[in-house]
Structure 1
Amino acid sequence: MTRNPATNIASRVMSDDRKGRFATLTFDREVAAPLAVLWEAWTAPAARAIWAAPSPSVTVEFLEADTRVGGRELSLCKVAGQPDISCECGWLELQPMLRSVNYEVISSEGVTQSVALVTADISGTQERSRLALTVQLSSLAEDMEAGYQEGFGAGLDNLAGTAERTMVLQRRIQAPRSVVWGAWMNAETLPQWWGPDGFSCRTQRIDLRTGGDWVFDMIAPDGTVFPNHHRYHEIRPEERIGYTLHWGENGPKHADAWVSFEEQDGATKVTLGMVFSTAAEFQEAKGFGAVELGLQTLGKLERFVTSG
C-alpha cells in the first residue's frame, strides 16, 4: 500500500528522533497587498522563485514545481564555494486564500539535514493581508533552529516585498479548460484576442514552447505602437505558463508573469499574475490602468472562445 507524504515524513522524523533537535518557530507578516495577491505570491512557482532566496548571495534554482495537493517542489540553493543545498517541498493541504500545509526536507550532498512541517494561515481584505506561519522543525544533522529563523525571516520579508509589486487578474470563463488553453497556446489564435479592447497585435516572431518567445507590437486604437517581447520558460499543458515580459525585442525586463488554468465544473478559472521588476513600475502600471486593461484582455479571450 502506498503511504502518503505526510506519513513518510513523520516516519523519517520518528526514526531519527534520538539524535534530532526539535523546535516550533512562528512568523507573522503584514503585507500591503490584497488577500488574493498574497496567496498567489505564496503559492505560484514563478513568484516563489523570485522571493525564495534569503539573501543576494544565494541563488535558488527550481528543478520541479507542482503546486497542488500531492505535488512537490524541488529546488537547489547555491552559494559560491559551498555544496548545493537541496530542498524538497511537498504540498499536503491547499485551501485557496486561507491555508496551506507542506512538508520540507533539506539535504546536502545526499545527507538529510532537517525535516519540517510548515503551516501557513492567510487572511486579509482587498487592501491588506496577513500571513501567519508555523514551522515544526526537526534538525537531524545539527541544531538548525537559528538558520531556519534567519532564513524564513528573510524569505518572508522578500515575500512581502514581492506581493506588494504583484498584480493578479482572474476571470471565470464559461468554456472547457482544453478550449481556453487551445486559444492561448496557438500561434494563430493568440494574436487575435490578446490585448485590451480596441488594441491589435502585429507579430514579428512567435514560438509558443518552453524556450520560445513571442515578439510583437501592440497597436493602440490611436495608432500608438508598443513593442513587446514575451519569453517562455515554463509550459505545463492545460495547467500553467511561465514567461517574462520585456520592453521590445531583447529589451529590459519589466515583469515576471504566469497564467494558470483551473477547471471548475466545465468552466475555466484563468489567473494571470505579474511581478513587476520594481515597485515604481508596478505603481506606474496601476496608474495607467493596467488592471482594467488586463481584465479587458481576459474578457476578449472569453468572447473569442465562446463566440463560435
Structure 2
Amino acid sequence: MFKQDVIVTLEEKIVRMERQFQAPLKLVWEVWTNPLHIEKWWGPKGFTNPTVEFDFKVGGSYRIVMRSPDGVDYPILGKFLEITPFESFVMTDLVDEHPEEWVKEVQKMAGVTGDRAMLNSKLRVLFEEIDGLTKVILITEFMNNQIRDGFANSGMKEGWSQSFEKLETDALPNANELIIEKKLAHSIESVFSAFADQININQWWGPDGFTTTTKSREFKVGGKWIYTMVGPDGTVYPNLIEYKEIVNYQYIEYIHGSGDPSKDDNFLVKIWFTSIQKNQTIIKMKMRFPNSEIRNMVVGFGAIEGAHQTLSRLNQYLR
C-alpha cells in the first residue's frame, strides 16, 4: 500500500494539510466529489457515514453524518462556494448539528466561550498532479487563531490522516482498475432492461455528443455487440463487446475492445445493479485494464467523465 504522511502547517487563522495519493488527479477528484465514494472513506477509522448528501455545484448544499463506533452522530453541513473542475473547490464547514459535548470540548481547548457558530470554518480543497501522483491540499480557515489552535489540538491531523488512509484503501481502486458508481432515479428492472434492449440502447449509450450505431447484437452469454461510436468531431470508434456472464437484474460481465486483434486493447467490464428503494438503483461499473499505465491513459482521455455522461443519458432516457 502507498503510504504518505500528512504534512500540517499553521498559518494566520489557517490549518493547512497536504497528502499525496498514488493515483491520477481525475481519479482522486472522483472519490472526493461522488457521494457513493465519499461514504466509504470520510471520517476517522471506525466511523461510518449513514448519510451523505452532496449536491456538488456552486450554491449546492451538502450534509454528511459521521457516526462514531459508539453510535454518536457528528453531522457536518454547508454549501459549495466555488468549484474549478479538477483543480479546487471551496465549501463552508458548519458544526450546527454537532453534539453539545463536542462543542464544549473544542471551546475549552481553544479557550473561548460563546455561540457554537464561532467554530464554523471554510474549507478549500486543492488538487495537483505531479509525476503520476496527486497532491491534495486542505486549507481550513477559522474565525481566529485561538479557534485554529483548538481544532489543531483536538485531533484534526489524526482524524484527517485516518480518513486519507481509508480513501487510499477503501475508495481508490487497484492500480489497473477504474470504478464508476452512480445512483439512478429508476427501478432496477427498468435500468437493467435498458442495458438488455437490443435496439434502443443506441439512444443513450456513449458520452455527450456521441452517436452509436449497432451493426449486430446478441445480449446473451457468448453473444457479441458490434457497433461504432462517432464523436462530436466526426471521429469513428469501432467497438466490440463479448458477453461473458449475465444475471438478470443483478450483474453483467463482458470483454470490451475495438475488435481489431492487432491493437490488443481489450479490457474487462463488470457491472452490478443494486436496488436501494423502489425507484432508486445504484450502478457500479468496474473496468480492469492490462496494467496501470493503460488505466491512467484511459482516465486522462476522459473515461470517468464519459462513463458518468453515459449513465446520465440513461437516466434521462428512462424518464
TM-score scaled by structure 1? 0.49
Larger strand share, 1 or 2: 1
| Larger of the two Rg values belongs to structure | 2
